[in-house]
Structure 1
Amino acid sequence: MRAVGRIADALAETRSRDCARFAVDIAGLLSLRPAQRAEGDRVRRSVAEKLVKTQQLRDLEALFGELPVRLDDPAVEVRACVLGELAMIGAGRGRPALDAYAERLRELGHPLARPPRTRLDVEHRFGVRVRGLGSVKTPDQLRSRFPEIAPTGSGTAAGRTAVESPDAGRAATVAEPFTVSGWSREPEARFFTLQGTLEPDDFNIAFIKELSLECLAGEGTRRGGALTCHTTADDVINELFAAAHNGGVNGQGQGAAYARLHAWNSLYALMGLPDDTPFPDAVRHAADCRWLRFMAFTDWFHHDAADVAFAVLDRSGTRVTVLAATDADTDADDQV
């Protein structure tokens, strides 16, 4: 299958209407059966990305002459990925064939039909690489990019009253960008309810340290202190997108269209929003929440690999969600 994938990729990167169709036809022959699904998805998503980067839009439009009948068709999946990739660059809307195909996908319930067909402003950092700005690995890097929030005694007191509200299904959705892309360790997603309204200034490391979090186990026993910094929803969703798009050390990237979907699924779950919440409403809701990045010196945070940790206080001030993920292979470290 890898050889087939290389041929399809090469065709997708050759600017020609015929090559574009041949690439889609080849990728559309790969099975959707579970045993072959992962490798087939890799090829389909790779071909879709390359097509959108290389081909003329008018030549891509020719691929959408027939409307889909069912979703269990690999050829339909390839085209859905192409539409998802076009949405990432804000292209394709207003083209009758593409609009009709997208609407049919929505009617059939394809997951890629859920996000908007153009990138929202909150997604402006997706796939953008800035020279000198990579992963945040150290406290100094965190402080240099985001405003640090000082601990407060009232934050400590509020944290001690927080009650965990387990929700396995929601936790799985929060962790989705990391699990689908093969990050080496199962992310930690926890939900807490407060007895009263938490003041925004008390949402800080003093509060976070009082929560029962695996990622903070042993905090204070090593050199270096934990800290929190204020951030925004666009930073959080960008990290979620990057995790799914780039892939982990034990997995592979998901392609931009699906990475975008996984990032939004996770963000909705972080905020506790129903799936049918319109995207503009979700963006407004995110702006009313308070978002933190945090870091500590524990077994969880390695400071030399991909570590991310976020907390969000909902706009009622009474519910907190925490997400921590690391791509460090702790089992391998233990064997060294």
Structure 2
Amino acid sequence: MSDFDGLTWSQAEQRAAQGDAACMRELGEQLADRHAEAVRQVRECERQLAHVVRVLALTPGRDSLGHLLQLLDEKRPSTGSRPLLPFVASLLAEHHQVADLAATVFERRAQDHLDELRDCLFHELVLRGVETDAFPALRSWVIVRPGWHALAWLPVHRRGLESGADFPTRSINGSSYGVPSQLPVEGRVDPPTPRKSERFALRDMATTDVHESIVAAVQAGEWGDHGAWVFLLDEAVPPERMPALLPTLPMQCVDGLGPTDRFEIAVRPLDAIWRLLFDTASMGGMFDSGVHGAYGRLWAWRSIAGLSGAPAGASAGEVEHRARQSTWFHFEADTDWFHGDIDSDYGIAALSPDRRRIAVLAATDTD
């Protein structure tokens, strides 16, 4: 059609009214082709833009930092489905001197749009053990940062349970990371087989808010599937009974588990559970890069809060106190729900301090 570029909505409607359906089909085909090409060009531009941002972020020195900040502030680029600034913050924390970051990134200008970058970078540095109080710009950021931001809930200093956080290794041309979810040898309390197949008359008591809290880290990491359950018991259950009790609970993740099928479980310290949740959220599943350190920290804490039964609105200190009083378990099972692939399945169970509440999170990254 020679008049394609000048065709207006009214002309299109007129031709349709005249019964020129062939013309409309040809127009649709050409529009579809143009759209496909435009999408291809946009994706290619996003890919190249992401590479340029990555190179700038991985190039040490205040000069590269200055140009990167100018690009991010003035153009506010988008390079994919995940937000860009948390990723950039993670790269900066990995590859730049803290003094350079404090002197450039945290030199806040009133009209810039980089507070999200600063917030994420601050928590990336905290997780890496940086003594933020030693840098005036970082110390003052806690005072001037937006108090409404979700990350403002997090502790401004690294807590003991966070000291073993894992991070990916990135270069200009690639990345190396993974979520080590395999059951450890230490702490194993596997129940004897054959196990009793009796099921308890319990109901999942998780409210919508509690369920969303428990699965926060897995959802953030976009794993393949997940489940969460909370059971309230009439009487206290000692921790040593948990290995026999868990496989009998009415949960999809253990449906079909026979008395001799594999069910392995270990008592785990809180820091190991937090690290597993942090890895899940921050580094993501097989086909995802996760939400990176700052938001991975937030969602790991959120899952710990839900699993431990911390009250709504609890501070990080209150969540940690309750979580440390709970007993934590890491388990795996041979069921249809779990797939048994390495580093792709895990279950977490938390027994409350009064021994009358059991919260469970199950995650799988296999379709």
Does TM, normalized by the shorter one, top 0.5?
Answer: yes
Map 1:50-129 onto structure 2 (within 5 A). 50-62=91-103, 63-66=105-108, 74-91=113-130, 92-105=132-145, 107-127=146-166
Aligned match of 1:218 in 248, 256, 280? 256
Matched, 1:318 2:356: yes
C-alpha contact (below 8 Å) 1:181/1:254 kept by paired residues: yes
Map 1:237-256 onto structure 2 (within 5 A). 237-256=274-293
Deviates most, 6-15 or 92-101: 92-101
Cα 1:127–1:178 shift into 2, 3 Å: same
Tell me which amino acid in the other structure corresponds to 1:46: F
C-alpha contact (below 8 Å) 1:241/1:260 kept by paired residues: yes
Deviation by residue 1:43-85 (Cα, 9 ceiling, x = unmatched): 312221222222222221222233668xxx7421111111111
CA distance in 2, matches of 1:301, 1:184: 11
Cα 1:109–1:244 shift into 2, 3 Å: same
Aligned match of 1:26 in 45, 61, 71? 71
Matched residue SS, 2:235: coil
Which residue does 2:58 correspond to in 1? 13
C-alpha contact (below 8 Å) 1:46/1:255 kept by paired residues: yes
Matched residue SS, 1:103: helix
C-alpha contact (below 8 Å) 1:271/1:286 kept by paired residues: yes
Give the alignment's Cα RMSD to 1 decimal: 3.0
Aligned match of 1:303 in 324, 340, 344? 340
Displacement after TM superposition at 1:40 (Å): 5.9
Cα 1:96–1:195 shift into 2, 3 Å: same
CA distance in 1, matches of 2:140, 2:79: 27
Cα 1:231–1:115 shift into 2, 3 Å: same
Q: TM-score, normalised by structure 1?
A: 0.82
Deviation by residue 1:246-266 (Cα, 9 ceiling, x = unmatched): 211343321111111110111
Which residue does 2:268 correspond to in 1? 231
Aligned match of 1:183 in 218, 223, 237? 223
Q: TM-score, normalised by structure 2?
A: 0.75
Which residue does 1:333 correspond to in 2? none
C-alpha contact (below 8 Å) 2:47/2:79 kept by paired residues: no
Cα 1:318–1:29 shift into 2, 3 Å: farther
Deviation by residue 1:271-302 (Cα, 9 ceiling, x = unmatched): 12135433333323222111111221111222
Question: How many equivalent residue pairs?
Answer: 310
Rg: which structure is higher?
2
Tell me which amino acid in the other structure corresponds to 2:108: E
Deviation by residue 1:216-254 (Cα, 9 ceiling, x = unmatched): 111118x73323221121111111011112211343321
Deviation by residue 1:104-145 (Cα, 9 ceiling, x = unmatched): 22x53112222223322111221069xxx97355xxxx3623
CA distance in 2, matches of 1:30, 1:171: 38
CA distance in 2, matches of 1:148, 1:24: 51
CA distance in 2, matches of 1:227, 1:166: 25
CA distance in 1, matches of 2:149, 2:286: 29
C-alpha contact (below 8 Å) 2:274/2:301 kept by paired residues: yes
Cα 1:134–1:249 shift into 2, 3 Å: closer
CA distance in 1, matches of 2:300, 2:121: 18
Tell me which amino acid in the other structure corresponds to 1:9: R
